[in-house]
Copies of this chain bind each other. A is one copy, B any other.
């Protein structure tokens, strides 16, 4: 009898095993369980420390029937419509492979010099009955969470696929707190809202603030990276990695059941991506921890990307810069040259015949002023916006031939500036505003990149303000993502670094293409001059936007009252000066701007010293304190000098920070220069009140520091 029982048990276990596949992370903290339902629907669930974080959730895709195929050989058969294909049911598991991978690699630039890529992998091959189509799902389980993607092997039954929608679900265990921005096919420039999932629907309308190009799609649609926190204090972050040749994923919430489902960005005809097998989706990532700092420290997104495709990376350099930009953003000066032109016809409009309005920012004299300031303060580069003709008439009109990227205004002497910058050891940073006219940019791209190299520009800030052209496309569709990738890879051929604004938010591609040194692709400092950002915006961004890559946040604003710059602009920068210093540490980026005017820096020259000193590239980063929406404190050790820097930013309520210095080397003496909010500082009423003090520290020291609302502190530490 016992034997039969045993046999039955073994049989039962094998039956279960035949349907459920389990994978644990290297340390055992996570468990992934994959199974097929009775209908052959693939599902997964994720447990963290033996508790469910993702309940059983569906996987798969829906292919479209919109694709027409015509037989072309002689008989002239009529166009046929394919039926809609499910790639989410009727599957059986036909193969599985388990591997472990453990490798440490070194990024060209980054928060740390070593990154360990250590995971257990489960590769499943599914076959669909009826269609006989094959689909693979590759799960990688790290000690900080799960990444998985779909793979579509080359096969006769599925050479081409047109995606109607991806149907990846993330079934959550409750009405978690979420830090979200509205799902949108064209912009990420929204303030974050913190609310429960159940409240998203009611708060969506007011969250959709105006933008030059925006296409929200659902009353419960949100963007990734999405930050969540359960009532039990578990932090969950959902994003994607390695977004190449695919549409950007948003998440749409079923707010009855708290299940998110992937919602891809459509192309102009409504379909959501065309693939040719062999092909794969990006990785869908779920980072989980009971410690918010671990979310920030996670390297999963980078680890899921392919190694660098650039062999010689010596031309890729972290860059600290200033530039002619904030004066136009605040409205003090203009990108344009004249008010005389109702519209511009590139190649025909004769700028020598128009009357300049005298408010053009990008003049030779002004640029040289910034070159001087950069040289005097050890900055690497100067960015100039508005240097090239066309700005009188640059967006909002679906204009294709809007810029030519090579013709300067009459008051911008390209050669003189080039030679002057060279003589001062300063690099000029190019600006390519495309106005969303992607075909125009591609037509000019080789010419524009060659022009850059010929004139000493090794880095370009590109922009996509306004609706994408071709009309009907979106900023984050597969078509447009393909354009950003084309621009990036061609830039690498020319040894050009790219900082793409208004492009799709990054997903770790800078591991593969390290010349992508930054994006904007979120609401940045410019919005402080467009009415202001929420004071706690910078305490959320590291948990969301920065999960996928660095942000050209352009901080360092010392004058918060914009009316003093432009009497017609009553915006207020919702941050203290100390907060602005700290951002150079808390908002990691190899590209950092000191965005304000030289004269404002000169007024607070002692505080400006921090910006001069702070490094851009790091051997080590230690997240000391973190809570989304409330505070972030991080310490980083500079590559080369070994010098440590600490930054803290806080939210609406201020904060009292408690940190220790255990990251310092034992037995050594250091001097810490602490730039902090004055006791009476407040981002609204008293933002410029700060203190600077020097204290001796060792690795045994601790610090308790009171931080103002919207405040922060910055510390630079030198060995004595």
Contact = CB atoms under 8 A, between A and B. Distances in A.
* Interface of chain A: mostly helix, strand, loop or mixed: loop
Nearest to A571: B74
A310 interface: no
Contacts of A530: 74-76
Contacts of A74: 330-331, 529-531, 566, 568-569, 571
Given A154-B342, A277-B343, A343-B160, A210 B70 contact: yes
Contacts of A78: 210
A276 B442 contact: no
A154 B472 contact: no
Interface residues of A, number: 61
A540 to B, nearest CB: 20
A277 B269 CA distance: 29
Most chain B beta-carbon contacts within 10 A, residue among A479, A531, A568: A479
Contact of A482 (B271, B343, B400, B531): B400
Nearest to A443: B442
Interface string A389-423: 00001011111100000000000000000000000
Contacts of A210: 70, 76-79
* Residue of A69, A276, A331 ringed by the most chain B CB atoms within 10 A: A276
Interface in A311-334: 330-331
Interface in A537-596: 566, 568-569, 571
Identical subunits present: 2
A396 B69 contact: yes
A50 interface: no
A155 interface: yes
A471 B439 contact: no
Nearest to A402: B276
B159 A343 contact: yes
Interface in A55-90: 67-70, 72-79
A493 to B, nearest CB: 13
A471 B471 CA distance: 11
A129 interface: no
Q: Enumerate the 9 nearest inter-chain pairs by beta-carbon distance, A residue then B residue, closest first.
A: A268-B472, A269-B472, A159-B343, A268-B268, A160-B397, A78-B210, A269-B471, A69-B396, A470-B470
27 contacts: A67-B397, A67-B398, A69-B397, A70-B210, A74-B331, A74-B569, A74-B571, A75-B530, A75-B531, A76-B211, A77-B210, A78-B210, A154-B343, A156-B342, A159-B342, A159-B397, A160-B398, A160-B399, A267-B471, A268-B268, A269-B471, A269-B472, A271-B471, A274-B397, A274-B398, A276-B399, A439-B439
Given A443-B486, A446-B446, 10 more contacts: A67-B397, A69-B397, A70-B212, A74-B331, A75-B530, A76-B209, A159-B343, A268-B473, A439-B439, A442-B443
